[in-house]
Structure 1
Amino acid sequence: MNKRIKRILKITGITILSVILIFAGVFTGMFHREVRTLNSIEKLDEHPLYTMEYKGDYGMDEFLEVGACNDQELVKFVVDRLLKGLPLEINIPSLGCSTFLAKNEESDGYLFGRNFDLNASPGMFVRTQPEDGYASISMVNLGFIGYGEEKLPDNMKDALLTLAAPYAPLDGMNEKGLCVGVLLIDTEPTNQQTEKIDITTTTAIRMLLDQAATVEEAVELLKQYDMHSSANSCYHFQIADVSGNSVVVEYIDNEMKVVRPEESYQAATNFLLTPGDYDFGKGQDRYAILMDTLEEQNGIVNSEEAMDLLQAASQDPHRTDDGDISATQWSVVYDMETLSATICMGQDYENTYTYSVEEPEK
């Protein structure tokens, strides 16, 4: 090979390398927050359980200007705003769960317990810090955004869809100690139709975690929007704050109802709690376990007893009416004073993990 050809090849190689470096620099500049977010993913448990630090702006303020009245509209917003056109399908099946609020025996604070019951579900704790909102941690069932046994976010390529996770929380706690959990109700889907901005089940949770410091603020926020149930189902929310205030928010005939406890503690499962002929649904046995135990202990438990109570109300694998195998996928105790969450996956109550609202020091 003569010197002239070698020189041409060398120049060509340098040019190609320069183009690649420029492209990589442009990509990093455009998507550096997304890349940092994906690089933050850690796998804690083989059930599995992941954690992720969301580094960018997921556009909640922008979303609340337009809203979404169904999952398809939410998907369109997330695809356009966060996933840069990457296809996404949000699928929220029937889920049976339990929540409760109790005073923490170990401090002057309160504990918020949550069982999430469904078929096999990979989970992810997502920590967010919006510029104009409260920092929070929330649990996401990755199955809702396309993950499962055959696809998990174990590499950069397969992790891309986790960028949608801020819009799919099922329970969580923010830096003010506000906690929220959503539970299925076997009744007509909520579909409010007024002139208000529309929100869906999971976007309501995201909004509350980002913007509400107290139960009363949360209730007033929900009143400002038209609620539309995800997945053509109906849900209610238990919301609690650091003062020990707690409510269950339900929608009956598209009218918002607020159920306040008679005692210092409160629980919810999968039937309506609004007084009247509404107490149909499932989970009365789990509700009795929660309330009877809390009554016996005057609504006061320590963190270990709180997890024991979730274990007592957990569901072993069983076949649902749809033919699926359902069980408690995770049990989590939110400590509203320390702003931390202790979680066990797959009913493995001997092994727990603790995750904090505060970002760990690097």
Structure 2
Amino acid sequence: MTQTRWKKRLLWAAVWAAGIVLAAVLAGAFLFRHELKTLATLEKIDDNVLYTMKYDGDYGFDDFLLTGASTDGELVRFVTDRLLRGLPLEFSIPDLGCSTFSAWTEDGDRIFGRNFDLTYSPALVVETAPDNGYRSISTVNLAFLGFGEDKLPDTWKQKLITLAAPYAPLDGINEKGLAVAVLRIADEPTDQDTGKTDITTTTAIRLMLDKAATVDEAVSLLEQYDMHSSAGSCYHFQLADAAGDSAVVEYIDNEFVVLKADGGYQMATNFLLSDKKFNFGNGQDRYEILESSLNRCGGVVKDEQAGMDLLQAASKDWHVSETSGRLNATQWSIVFNCTDLTAKVVTGRQYDKPAHTFSLTQ
């Protein structure tokens, strides 16, 4: 065989091999197109630290609800297999302290405010649009997914972990104007066992945002599942909707309790409000700030900025936590507008700076 023919054969072999590699790359890009598109939107917008991300495609929440999860470990296994392709995931909810309120503005908008108090907590605002659910904006503490001051989603491998974000929301608003948030109670963890499908603290938030348009719908949904609270603690939820309804949902010794707003406005911190265990927990000082301010104005504040001012008044500078003994502070303050479907976020008590604004109408 001549040297020329050998060269031609080698050339064709190289072309064939390159074609196989290209086909594999294209197949991989197609297979992971939603994940790649999602991670391409991950952006750091505040050095304090705040990230944003727009989740592309579905994240399998309907499949999750078929079996549910009774522990954070079960949730991690589902998310690892479904979204992270086996990449190890840390998931923990530490000693968080929070304040929430629902109110009206003078223009007739329904607003819902939330302070998130904890140690250093990089935040992620994620927009989701599931195939079989409502679009929503929710806030995730990236520390729950293993991030911190010395580890942020700046490398490709670290960014992959943020694909778990839809399963770790702590507050949010959906396209129907339902806003929700979770607050910790220093009580025995909720561990219902009535034979219903199991959910955890953060998946309860995802359930309400994805599937409920009103407070009543959200309450009805929660009643259909057995709650298993995360991190060995107890929690209650505050909910508000565009029509003006508001409620606090608590689990008193595993019993489901709903407290509706009296007068169109409501507030909650880190103690129980139900008669059976009223005042159990902490945060009474922050509750008093919210209650006295809203009582004076009859639950009608001037505007969203007045709502943020109220959160500032109830916010916490660096202090020693009453329960954990660690240094905590307000990590983010957020005002959801259930009427306009927006969220205004301030991180690290930077109340003198313009809030970051997100919208579900754009």
Match of 1:200 in 2: 200
In the other structure, the counterpart of 2:55 is: 54
Q: Secondary structure of the equivalent of 1:244?
A: coil
Q: Tell me if structure 2 keeps the 8 A contact 1:39–1:156.
A: no
Please tell me the root mean square deviation across aligned C-alpha atoms, in Å: 1.5
Q: Which one-letter code corresponds to 1:295 in the other structure? A: N
How far is the alpha carbon of 1:26 from its aligned partner? 1.0
Residue 350 (structure 1) aligns with: 352
Aligned partners of 2:252 and 2:277 also within 8 Å: no
Deviation of the 1:108 alpha carbon: 1.9
1:236·1:251 contact (CA, 8 Å) conserved in 2? yes
Alpha-carbon distance in 1 for matches of 2:232, 2:5: 69
Q: Which moved more, 1:347-356 or 1:266-275?
A: 347-356
SS at match of 1:310: helix
SS at match of 2:165: helix
Q: What's the counterpart of residue 187 of structure 1?
A: 187
Distance in 1, Cα, partners of 2:16 & 2:324: 59
Deviation digits for residues 144-174 of structure 1, max 9, x if unmatched? 1111122222243321011100000000000
In structure 2, do the counterparts of structure 1 residues 277 and 204 end up closer, same or farther at CA, with 3 Å as the change threshold?
closer
- The residue matched to 1:231 in structure 2 has which SS? coil
Which residue number in structure 1 is paired with residue 295 of structure 2?
295
Q: Within 2, Cα distance between the matches of 1:277 and 1:340?
A: 35
The unaligned stretches of length 5 or more in structure 1 are none
Which amino acid is the alignment partner of residue 177 of structure 2? G
Within 2, Cα distance between the matches of 1:57 and 1:132?
9
- SS at 1:206 equivalent: helix
Q: Which residue of 1 aligns with 2:20?
A: 19
When the two structures are superposed, what TM-score results if normalisation uses the length of structure 2? 0.95
User: Which whole-Å CA distance do the structure 1 matches of 2:62 and 2:290 have between them?
Assistant: 37
Q: What 5-or-longer segments of structure 2 have no aligned partner?
A: none
Given that 1:137 and 1:174 are in contact with CA atoms closer than 8 Å, whether structure 2 keeps it comes out as yes
Once residues 277 and 40 of structure 2 are traced to their aligned partners in structure 1, the CA distance between those partners, rounded to angstroms, is: 51
Which residue identity lines up with residue 121 of structure 1 in the other structure? S
Q: Distance in 1 between matches of 2:6 and 2:88?
A: 45
Residue pairs, 1:284-323, within 5 angstroms: 284-301=284-301, 302-320=303-321, 321-323=323-325
* Residue 303 (structure 1) shift: 0.7
Give runs of aligned pairs for residues 319-330 of structure 1, distance below 5 A.
Answer: 319-320=320-321, 321-330=323-332
Report 1:1-362 matches (<5 A).
10-105=11-106, 107-301=107-301, 302-320=303-321, 321-351=323-353, 352-358=355-361, 360=362
Q: Conserved in 2, the CA contact under 8 Å of 1:180 and 1:238?
A: yes
2:275 match: secondary structure: coil
Q: How far apart are 1:333 and its partner, in Å?
A: 0.2
Structure 1, residues 212-258: CA drift from partner, whole Å, max 9, x if none?
01111111101100000011110000011111110000001100111
Shift of 1:12: 5.0
Identical pairs, percent: 55
Matched-pair contact (CA < 8 Å) for 1:264–1:299: yes
Q: Letter of the 2:89 partner, please give it.
A: L
How far apart in 2 are the matches of 1:220 and 1:258? 10
Distance in 2, Cα, partners of 1:151 & 1:325: 19
